[in-house]
Structure 1
Amino acid sequence: MPRRLRPLILLAPLLGFLALAYALPFLGVVGWSVTRPEPGLQNYHAALADPLVLSVFWRTLRICLLVTLISVTMAYLLALLWVRGTPLVRMLTELCILIPFWISVLTRAFGWLALLSNRGIINEWLTAAGLLEDPLRLVRNEFGVTVGMIHFMVPFAVFPLASAMRMVDERVLLAARGMGASRARVFWQVFVPMTSAGLMGAALLVFVFALGFFITPAILGGGRSVMVAELIYLRIFQSPDWGLAAAISVILMLAVSALLALLLKQLRPGGER
């Protein structure tokens, strides 16, 4: 057997499974988008022209960008402590990063609901302390959705950032210090640019995850801050409008695929940045 064909033989079962589990269902969704309720591209026209759908798209984009910015910033600080802190700090930071993976996303969403709801722990404490007369609206809006999504996304953003930080050549930092640069200048002008690939990877990873998020926005948004994934669910199971839901799904899939292609290009070993 030719040596070039051996990897393909080993990958054949996995590729076959992926084709059956993902490619065929996606082709079925594409078919629905151009055939239901009648053949044509009217579903795509509705998805790109309907004010309601466009408002959901813009809300999703706005929330995803905000979640990405805050999550990557917090993850950068955590990764910095994890990579360059003392042994005790590294151990505590690692626990803070890993423990959220042991708790399901559904449990975390209901935990935030218990904290932020009108009769939740935070509002009860503030009211009992006399700081509030009426409870703050912290859920069933974009604030609650953003908080819950950030809590979920931060640990995922830490790993590409930590990987990039571990690849920084310590000699470059020492050389910058030896030439008289302050610690702040070394950090902003040397360390941060050298970890830019990790920043880009973490940002794209968080943004792609956030685009398709469903459980947390559905619970903490309470139907008042609908995002794209929840809109697809509503169009399939409540409206129902399967053709429009399929068209929105295809648009979302194409957007995610483009972002993943950008991510793979950015993280390609030996690739240019």
Structure 2
Amino acid sequence: MRDILKPALLVGPLLLFLAAAYVVPFLGVLSWSFTLPEPGLHNYANALTDELILSVFLRTFRICLFVTVFAVIAAYAIALVWVRGTPAQRLAAEVCILIPFWISVLTRAFGWVALLSNRGLINTWLTQLGVISEPLTLVRNEFGVILGMTHFLVPFAVFPIASAMRSLDERVLLAARGMGASRARTFWQVFLPMTAPGVLGAAIIVFVFSLGFFITPAILGGGRSVMAAELIYLRIFQSPNWGLGAAISVLMMVVVGLLLGLLMRYARPKSMLS
């Protein structure tokens, strides 16, 4: 009995905190979606049939897909240097990974605005060098949103990929090289497939995180690339239509849950955590 009580006493406060912080608020949002402004399923019907809401959903998934691909590719390159580079390269990679965690998402977003706006550093330099005659539109569109979100999420994708790389058996790579495989063939046919669980884990993390982004799309999108989180904010605080905003929130939670269930099933969680 004591063996059961001790873990329960240790884990119990954490479970109570998580229930108070996440489960109770979600149940409140769930009840709003069915009761406001009047009981029924009309909020879900509107969310699934309104062309504006559907276009926001499609834009959200499109942006998240691009962000996931670019972030995972960049994270794989950084993790490769971090795990298999020289000591100096590893130190530089660690600095690149850790420093972004010390900078707030708001500061990063405005930093990208300073770089990408019509009078920003990039357009100013390109104009002065004679490369372009008119400023490029790099913000207030999906390009700026994807760039800013990718920059924020790359460090989160590095860790599962680096973990997969560190768990590799070096003898397998040496065997491939000993049998005459080139470095490129060893990478594409041995190293990359063996780190695939880490890549898939990173993709899951990035995609799920990006679905809930609000500040970066709001600043870099300038209201022209509205994503689901910003739409929920607009429906609750500016329309206001709390019931519809709650229904959109619940639908996003369902989508995230389904994606996590499917991806974790095929990603083999044990191999991702090893």
Normalised TM-score (structure 1): 0.96
C-alpha separation in 1, matches of 2:243 and 2:168? 50
1:91 matched to 2:91: yes
Q: Given the superposition, is the C-alpha separation of residues 62 and 271 from structure 1 closer, same or farther in structure 2, using an over 3 Å criterion?
A: closer
Match of 1:68 in 2: 68
Using the TM superposition, give the Cα deviation of residue 18 of structure 1 relative to its aligned residue in structure 2, in angstroms.
1.0
Match of 1:134 in 2: 134
- Does the CA-based 8 Å contact 1:64-1:210 persist in structure 2? yes
C-alpha separation in 1, matches of 2:124 and 2:178? 54
Q: Given the superposition, is the C-alpha separation of residues 270 and 58 from structure 1 closer, same or farther in structure 2, using an over 3 Å criterion?
A: closer
Aligned pairs for 1:146-225 within 5 A: 146-225=146-225
1:29 matched to 2:21: no
Match of 1:103 in 2: 103
Using the TM superposition, give the Cα deviation of residue 256 of structure 1 relative to its aligned residue in structure 2, in angstroms.
1.9
- Does the CA-based 8 Å contact 1:67-1:146 persist in structure 2? yes
- RMSD (CA atoms): 1.7
Using the TM superposition, give the Cα deviation of residue 267 of structure 1 relative to its aligned residue in structure 2, in angstroms.
5.8
Normalised TM-score (structure 2): 0.95
* Percent of residue pairs identical: 69
Q: Secondary structure at the residue paired with 1:139?
A: coil
C-alpha separation in 2, matches of 1:231 and 1:264? 28
Structure 2 residue runs of 5 or longer lacking an equivalent are none
C-alpha separation in 2, matches of 1:238 and 1:84? 51
Q: Secondary structure at the residue paired with 2:257?
A: helix
Using the TM superposition, give the Cα deviation of residue 258 of structure 1 relative to its aligned residue in structure 2, in angstroms.
2.9
Structure 1 residue runs of 5 or longer lacking an equivalent are none
- Does the CA-based 8 Å contact 1:201-1:267 persist in structure 2? no
C-alpha offsets along residues 121-162 of structure 1, whole Å, 9 cap, x if unaligned?
111111222222221110000000000001001010000000
Q: Given the superposition, is the C-alpha separation of residues 128 and 220 from structure 1 closer, same or farther in structure 2, using an over 3 Å criterion?
A: same
Match of 2:38 in 1: 38
- Does the CA-based 8 Å contact 2:198-2:272 persist in structure 1? no
Number of equivalent positions: 273
**What is the identity, as a one-letter code, of the residue corresponding to 1:223?**
G
- Does the CA-based 8 Å contact 1:205-1:263 persist in structure 2? no
Q: Given the superposition, is the C-alpha separation of residues 270 and 99 from structure 1 closer, same or farther in structure 2, using an over 3 Å criterion?
A: closer
Using the TM superposition, give the Cα deviation of residue 114 of structure 1 relative to its aligned residue in structure 2, in angstroms.
0.4
C-alpha offsets along residues 56-93 of structure 1, whole Å, 9 cap, x if unaligned?
00000000000000100010000000000011111111
